[in-house]
Amino acid sequence: MPDSLQINSPNGSFHAFVARPSVMPAPAIVVIHEVFGVNADMRQSCEELAAQGYLAVCPDLFWRIEPGLAMTDRTAAELARAAELYAAFNLDTGVIDIAATIDAVRRMPECTGKVGVVGYCLGGLLSYLTTARIGADAAVAYYPGNADLHLDEAEGVESPLIVHLAQEDEYIGKPTQRQLHDALDHRAQVQVYSYPGCGHAFARHRGIAYDAAAAALANGRTADFLASHLKQS
């Protein structure tokens, strides 16, 4: 049954969407939203993770700018607002808020103590940065935009991490993808997967670039990865 959770951070409090599994305590996943906020897509992702046996928590990282935001990629007005939000968003405070969420979730009686992070687009970048700066029991980054601007932090990645890249990503070009491979492929705990013929956000439910086959492949890899690191003692 979905509900919400209040998270207290060093700079204030904010809410997170929660989807609970049928059996608890359970390992937890902090789901890091795209630039469209905690929308129907992110809630569906949380519910899918809950069905896999995870306590899924999606914090509202835009609480300082526009709390409760939930947009789609379907209109010009929403895309324009998304661009404004991306420019206004502070990555450092975002990581601080994610760290506060991880800490709060880890201490919940419904949680086994193991917490992973899964992020998409902006959330993918934040998943990578969170892994590099704080760590997690497992981390997944779907098409992390602008991660190439933070490759100096790759050496800080010590947690298990997988990255999903769309080969035809209009925001993460092939030269950038090569940079990501060069920075991450040699790290034993990191796996980088590429999806031929796919554009950015190929795993976004109902998104304009959704690719059912590629999304199923990426999500299957994510499920296996999370289970291996969060469900095994």
Selection from 205, 165, 164 nearest residue 43 by Cα = 205
- Spatial distance between the Cα atoms of 100 and 84, rounded to a whole number of angstroms: 25
DSSP 104-151: HHHTSTTEEEEEEEEEETHHHHHHHHHHHHT--SEEEEES-TTGGGGG
Q: What are phi and psi of 140, to 5 degrees?
A: -130, 135
Which DSSP state fits 37?
B
- Spatial distance between the Cα atoms of 137 and 12, rounded to a whole number of angstroms: 26
Q: Which residues are catalytic?
A: 121, 169, 200
